[in-house]
Amino acid sequence: MTVKELANQYNLNVLCDEGIEQNIKGGYVGDLLSFVMAHAKEEMIWLTIQGHINTVAVASLIGLSAIILTEKSMPTEEMLEKAKENGIPVLNTPLTSFQLAYRLGQDGVLGGVG
C-alpha cells in the first residue's frame, strides 16, 4: 500500500504531499523521538502528536514513508518546509494514535506493524 492509498482509505488530511507514492511496510506509534529513532524501521509510517521540525529529522534519518499527526495535531511551517525538502509526506487525523493504529491493525492494512 502507498501513503496516498492509505490517506484516501482512512480520510487522512494530506498536509505535505511530497513522496506520497511511497510504499508502506509497517507502522510505529510513539512520541518520544529518541525511542522512535531506536525502534522504527525504514518504510514505516509514524503516528505521533509531534508536529515540529525535529520529527522530520528523525523520519529522514530512518527513512520513514510518512508522518501522521494524530489528535488534530498540526505541523509548524518549519516542519512542512523540511518535510517537503526531504520528500516526507505529512498527514493528520482527528483520531488518536491508538484509534488509527487499531483500525489499521483490524483491517490488516499494515502486515508488519512494529
pLDDT computed for residue 108 by the predictor: 84
pLDDT digit string, tens, across residues 55-81: 999 999 999 999 999 999 999 999 999
Question: What CATH code is assigned to 3-106?
Answer: 3.40.1390.20
pLDDT computed for residue 113 by the predictor: 43
Mean pLDDT computed over every residue of the chain: 95
Q: Is 108 exposed, middle or buried (0-12, 13-18, 19+ CB in 10 A)?
A: exposed
**Residue 101: is its pLDDT beyond 50?**
yes
What confidence category does residue 8 fall into, taking pLDDT thresholds of 50, 70 and 90?
very high
pLDDT computed for residue 60 by the predictor: 98
Rounded Cα distance between 85 and 99, Å, is 30
Rounded Cα distance between 3 and 110, Å, is 11
Size of the chain, expressed as the number of residues it contains = 114
Which of 76, 65, 57 shows the shortest CA–CA distance to 22? 65
> Span 36-60, mean pLDDT?
97
- DSSP for 62-90, written as a single string: HT-SEEEE-TT----HHHHHHHHHHT--E
| HSE-CB of 70 using CA atoms within 13 angstroms | 18
